Amino acid sequence: MQRLSASSMVFWLRDNHPREQGLKYLLGSHAQVMARLKGIQEYRQHHFDLNSKGLWPTLQGVNTTIDESYYRIDGIEEFLLKGAYPFKLKQMKAYESHVFKETYHCIASDKDNHWLQYSNSSNKVGFRTVVLIRRKADIAISDFENFIKNILVPALVKTQLLSEVRYQVLLPEREETKSIGNYHALLVLGACDRNKLQQSIISPGLAATWNAQSLHCDAILAHSVYQTYIFTIDGRPSLPQVKPEQKPRLEPVKRELPPAPARASLKKGTTPFPPSRLIPISGYGPEDVVVDAEGRLLCGVKGGRILRIDPEHGSEETVGNTGGRPLGLEVLPDGRLLICDAHKGLLRLDIETGKLETLVQYVDHLPLRFCSNASAASDGTIWFTESTNRYDFEQYMGALYEHRPSGRLFRRDRDGRVEVILDQLHFANGVTISGDQSAILFAETDGYRLNRYWIRGPHAGKREIIAGNLPGFPDNVSRLQDGKFWVAMVTPRNKLLDSLGKAPTFIRQLIWRIPDRWQPAGVRTTWAMLFDENGNVLLDLQDTLSNYHGVTGVAEYNGFLYLAGVEEEALLSLDLRAIDKPTLV
């Protein structure tokens, strides 16, 4: 069993710069470095509410008030480490002088730290406090350790009001840090809300320890946590990469898939492929395409630019830039654009002004790793997907080789609240809303299926498969109209990839380590399918002779179907008027 240890960094931001500037740096480049340090098993940032006066009840002879005379703290960084202490302090890059005014490094002894996480999913952590404790000078270290481990922490756990109890009994402080910290224990307490947490620290069980608290403690300072961010889980960074990184380790699971249907081996669809025309663009990899109210095409390309193209004349303009990697798009009724950015999260762009705002970047304290596609309901609710929370967009094949479901479906209410609706999805992708707004339709690329999740009516909260065991990989879906929607099909099913679900772990890990240029490639094809809301196939358009392949986005407008491909430098226009069958209007 691997030995783990704990460490924390108390930090004070410089007061000659805006606090928001320092926090932005902490959440950005600083977190990118810290989350990827060798030896980190888990890494969190807790940012404090500077208006908090302290949550701990008043105790005789104990300082529990955070007042103006107290050296107010901005937050802490919390680490779970593999081994006793696998990296030196100077290697942590935590003392950037332009951000930190002061830091205080708290190291827990190997035997005196513990992270306890309850598994009661109905009692999620919605509020936290970080409690810094200083012992009385006349109390022996061994007596203080016994008080923390065998009296205070058990009393907190027994309240059954807390979702999370984490503690560290700290090693004796160094001389150079005594003036700024001098703490001897640290607690991180989490509850479903603030009220439950406050109930826990004034509960009868904890009140029974008040005399012991007064005897052992000089100060108990309970800081309200404004926000917690989790940047490393189980040794894996949760942040999207900002520069090419080494491939993370593959942790495959066993999965047996049904045999692919006969359609997967065919090179053409049941409908003759219509005339096509390339629409060149000035960027690479338009992952999705949508149409605005005036019939102009919108797509995002590598580097972050959002392009608007006249499909008839080919004229192009840049209307915004996310600075990340835009994927799924959705035009809102007011003309603004929803953008799922793999690096930045869920964004909204005012096309007329170029103003970009972040709607969702963190869910349940975790950064969105691979925000994929979104759709907005008429009441302003936004439904969106994350393909996987284990792999970056640039390394998406890891999720397919692993066969471990790690995608999610979210709902963002108009007030900004975000809820995880479904998790453990097989590469959640395109999403749209049914015509009567009663259900969400979404694709699972690695599940080879289309799903319906009911949000109203007698089946509300129920998920069902409307089209399963598809012949290829479904990606983005078009905005549903007239009871029909298009699905971009990237490539046909791959027998090797399907069979890898049963292959030994080491074989998949070896394949994953092969350079990308030698990885098994999908069939080059142009493919889109039209479905109704019940999953029936209405049109099946495929052509392997086209110069366009790997279709990831699709939109129809005024008799034409527009395709986007994440490995192309163009969009493709198909003339549906040449098809002697009814299509979307």
User: What does the DSSP assignment read for 219-247?
Assistant: EEEEEEEEEEEEEEETTEE-SPPSS--PP
Q: Render 14-73 in DSSP notation, one character per residue.
A: -TTS-HHHHHHHIIIIIHHHHHTSTTEEEEEEEEE-TT----SPPBTTBB----TTS---
Question: Of the ranges 246-260, 309-323, 569-583, which one carries the lowest mean pLDDT score?
Answer: 569-583
Average pLDDT, integer, range 244-269: 93
Q: pLDDT tens digit string along 485-497?
A: 999 999 999 999 9
Q: Examine the pLDDT at 179 and tell me if it is beyond 80.
A: no
pLDDT, mean of residues 462-474:
97
Examine the pLDDT at 88 and tell me if it is beyond 60. no
Q: Work out the average pLDDT over 66-92.
A: 71
| pLDDT tens digits along 91-132 | 554 557 788 888 887 777 655 566 555 444 456 899 999 999
In order of their start, the domains of the chain are 4-236 (3.30.70.100), 264-578 (2.120.10.30)
Using the predicted structure, report yes or no on whether residue 477 has a pLDDT greater than 50.
yes
pLDDT of residue 103: 81
pTM for the complete prediction? Answer: 0.92
Hey, what are 10's tokens? 């108390």
State yes or no: pLDDT of 90 exceeds 60.
no
Give the whole-angstrom CA distance, residue 553 versus residue 566.
Answer: 8
What are 346-353's contacts with CB under 8 Å, separation 24+?
Answer: 346/371, 346/374, 346/382, 346/384, 346/412, 347/322, 349/306, 349/319, 349/320, 349/322, 351/292, 351/306, 351/308, 351/319, 351/320
- The mean of the pLDDT values for the chain is 90
Q: Percent of the chain, pLDDT > 90?
A: 76
| Mean pLDDT, rounded, for 220-246 | 93
Q: What is the pLDDT of residue 86?
A: 46
275 pLDDT higher than 90: yes
d(CA 298, CA 338): 11
